[in-house]
Amino acid sequence: MATRKIRKAVIPAAGLGTRFLPATKAVPKELLPIVDIPTIQYIVAEAVAAGVRDVILVCARGKDSIVDHFDIAGELEAHLDRTGKHELRKQMRAIAQMANVVTVRQQEPLGLGHAVLCAKDVVGDEPFLILLGDDVIDAKVPGAKQLADCWERHGLGTIALMEVPPEETHLYGIAAGTPVDGRTMRIDRLVEKPKQDAPSNLAVIGRYVLPPRIFEILEQVKPGVGGEIQLTDALAVLAREDGLLGHRFEGDRYDAGDRVGYLKANIAYALKRPDLAPQLREWLREVTR
């Protein structure tokens, strides 16, 4: 049987964004821009590039403006038309047409695994993508597409991996396994944020293509690190029982959930923009001299 195509993506977006206070007091952190595009729009675009049509946002109270961003803004569009800004109006409409965006609510902050479980009924019985909004990936072939391709080649759940310095392994899920091909391995160990004895320096980055079986496992896992239902713990069970691949994706990754990572992402993306790069580059040269 051919491997089923990925049509649905789950994007957990229920966090409070405390690392970015006061900016996130009234604005969801997912709407903070990288240059002039909200972070979540890059994430949704990446999912769409991997073949996704339906995006399931796992939201919480106070996050409704994320959904407004992907809706038609009638008044704004009429204003742009009246003032002759037709190209901008088209761009605004295109955002509303990127994907079908639906939301489910995570009513209590019980962890990433729990957030994913909240999407169970909407995902149903098919493979799906998970994308974490803090991980921004800049790559020729979008990160999620690289994983979806790997899933299609091998027919097994696939998660994104990246090498990190040994002193940073305590910040990530860490995986170890046996090589399948140049960039892919079969995972046989997976630990969430190891305090010591990390099994490798390969960190899990927030892109996962998973079979629906992960929901059954999530329903069973006990709270792990931080007393939360951890996705990583469920993935360790999936790896043991059904098999799971790790794929070292090609591209640059920014941790937009960290203030320095967020600033780096802004500068890197601005330096790719012909309308902004020359001025910014000149100024950067001056201030870093």
Chain residues that interact with ligand G1P, rule: CB under 6 A: 112, 132, 134-135, 172-173, 192, 203-206, 231-232
- Least Å from the CB of residue 50 to ligand G1P: 18
Residues in the chain: 289
Residue 111's closest CA among 234, 5, 275, 24? 234
Between 5 and 19, name the residue whose CB sits nearer to ligand G1P: 19
Between 7 and 19, name the residue whose CB sits nearer to ligand G1P: 19
Q: What would the two tokens of residue 145 be?
A: 């597409």
Residues 6 or more apart whose Cβ sits within 8 Å of residue 17: 23, 24, 28, 29
- Least Å from the CB of residue 193 to ligand G1P: 7
Between 56 and 112, name the residue whose CB sits nearer to ligand G1P: 112
- Least Å from the CB of residue 192 to ligand G1P: 5
- Least Å from the CB of residue 194 to ligand G1P: 11
- Least Å from the CB of residue 261 to ligand G1P: 10
- Least Å from the CB of residue 198 to ligand G1P: 12
Q: Which residue's CB comes closest to ligand G1P?
A: 173
Rounded to whole angstroms, how far apart are CA atoms 196 and 40? 33
Between 95 and 131, name the residue whose CB sits nearer to ligand G1P: 131
DSSP 6-71: P-EEEEE-----GGGTTTTTTS-GGGSEETTEEHHHHHHHHHHHTT--EEEEEE-TT-HHHHHHTS
The answer to whether residues 245 and 154 touch, using CB atoms and an 8 Å cutoff, is: yes
The answer to whether residues 149 and 245 touch, using CB atoms and an 8 Å cutoff, is: no
Between 38 and 113, name the residue whose CB sits nearer to ligand G1P: 113
Between 29 and 69, name the residue whose CB sits nearer to ligand G1P: 29
Give the position of tokens 């974490």. Answer: 132
Q: How far apart are the first and last CA of the chain?
A: 60
CA distances from 71 to 83, 171, 254, 256 (A): 21, 35, 27, 24
